[in-house]
Amino acid sequence: MTVIQSIKATEVIVPARPGSLNSDEVIDRDSAFAQKFLTGERWTEFANQPKWVLELTLANGLTGIGETYRSASGELLRLAMQELAGQNVLKLNWRRLPIVDKRIYEAFESAVLDVVGKLLNVPVAQLLGGAYRDRIDCFGWTGRRTPEEAAQKAYDAMQTGHKAFKFKCSDEDPVRLWTEAIRDKCGDGIKILLDPNQRWTDVDTTLRLMDGVDKTIMLGLEDPILHEDVAGYKYLRETLAMPVYRHISLPYTQDIRAMIAFVRADAVDGYNINGSAYNSVLLAEIAHLEGKSCWRGSEVDLGISETMGLHIAAASINCTIPSDLFGELVRTDDLIAEPIQFEHGAALVPQGAGLGIELDYAALNTFKTGQTLLISV
């Protein structure tokens, strides 16, 4: 009864809400960045990359759901489905599923843990070791903006209860003008995190761009310079008089030694952590042993992955910095029947069995591309 009877994958494209990603006037001239992250010059392509929604059904009829990263390989997905079909979910090693490709791993992990949680009548957070909290503070979020629109976005988030707002940025953005405009419009009501995705490259560029920035409004900087420059992070942390954070994810880094180097150097104030559930909890534990806090990262996902992120954040002892769970601010739909509930800028962790959510089949039909994979035994 606990054998995987079938796995279905449905490809979907859920576009961004108009105006949710970037100011229309802000054009990204960094073609290498746009190609790496498939953003397009105004980030318009960011949300137009397809995802796959998984439905994993046991012989007893219970179904678990998952969601891949953007632009996951359909062929690798099909091979992974063949690998898992017919296996007993209660005999799998949930920490190390037999899935190789990192763009699809978390979808299968989510579906397996969702259905196991339903079998055992416990939330996914319990399968990860147990929850430390039942609500997760979350960032407001947007891409690159004019100063006026940056201030308005921060103000709108503050009005809905968010305590912090995260901006993507490059070395072309007038971040000092952003913080001045936000201070004028929001006062002390919200803190700002700037995330250049390493696009400020080096210490000198970062110090130049941060010259004159209102430090009192800053929650900190995430990934200002290249990850390889551990000493540079430490120098910025000591020089800027504000927190500096490092984004680390095993699917990207694929080597935990990258985090260990930062721990040994005491180079940052905390970490943005994402990746598979058990790996994320492991990274959070390492940060906790260092005496640092973390938050749950994302890829501007749909409702399934965002909910999985809530369970991961709940099960991570030091996940106390606002998390990157804001898909509902960007996407036109989340593909789940009941959206994630927010109160004063915090997302409530579902308390039902498994993920505690259900797939919205009407929305799935609306946004499916027509590509479907099905493996049955």
Neighbours of 11 (CB within 10 A): 19
Three-state DSSP string of the chain: CCEEEEEEEEEECCCECCCCCCCCCCCCCCHHHHHHHCCCCCCCCHHHCCEEEEEEEECCCCEEEEECCCCCCHHHHHHHHHHHCCCECCCCCCCCCCCCCCCCHHHHHHHHHHHHHHHHCCEHHHHCCCCCCCEEEECEEECCCCHHHHHHHHHHHHHCCCCEEEEECCCCCCHHHHHHHHHHHHCCCCEEEEECCCCCECHHHHHHHHCCCCHHHEEEEECCECCCCHHHHHHHHHHHCCCEEEEEEHHHHCCCHHHHHHHHHCCCCEEEEECCHHHHHHHHHHHHHHCCEEEECCCCCCHHHHHHHHHHHHCCCCECCCECCCHHHHECCCCECCCCCEECCEEECCCCCECCCCECHHHHHHHEEEEEEEEEC
Question: Which pLDDT does position 42 carry in this prediction?
Answer: 58
Per-residue pLDDT of 311-349, as tens digits, reads 999 999 999 999 998 877 888 999 999 999 999 999 999
Structural domains in the chain, sorted by start: 4-123+358-376 (3.30.390.10), 135-348 (3.20.20.120)
How do 293-296 and 191-195 pair as beta strands?
Answer: unpaired
pLDDT in the model for residue 17? 87
- The answer to whether 64 and 92 are in contact (CB under 8 A) is no
Structure tokens at 256: 């935990």
Q: Is the separation of the CB atoms in 134 and 112 below 8 Å?
A: no
Q: Which residue type occupies 183?
A: R
pTM of this structure: 0.95
pLDDT of residue 44: 64
Q: Give the CA distances from residue 111 to residues 64, 318, 359, in Å, rounded to whole numbers and listed in that order.
A: 4, 25, 12
What is the separation of C-alpha 21 from the centre of its chain, rounded to a whole number of angstroms?
Answer: 15
What residues does 54 pair with on adjacent strands?
A: 9, 66
Which residues fall within 8 angstroms of residue 18, CB to CB, at 6 or more apart? none
- In this structure, how many other beta carbons lie within 10 angstroms of the beta carbon of residue 37? 17
Contact 65, 54 (CB under 8 A): yes
Close Cβ partners of 55 (under 8 Å, ≥ 6 residues apart): 7, 8, 9, 10, 63, 64, 65, 111, 359
Q: What is the pLDDT along the chain (377 residues), one digit of tens a residue?
A: 999 999 999 999 999 888 877 777 766 666 666 556 656 655 667 778 999 999 999 999 999 999 999 989 999 999 999 999 999 999 999 999 999 998 899 999 999 999 999 999 999 999 999 999 999 999 999 988 999 999 999 999 999 999 999 999 999 999 999 999 999 999 999 999 999 999 999 999 999 999 999 999 999 999 999 999 999 999 999 999 999 999 998 766 668 899 999 999 999 999 999 999 999 999 999 999 999 999 999 888 999 999 999 999 999 999 999 999 887 788 899 999 999 999 999 999 999 999 999 999 999 999 999 999 999 99
| pLDDT tens track for 17-44 | 888 777 777 666 666 665 566 566 556 6
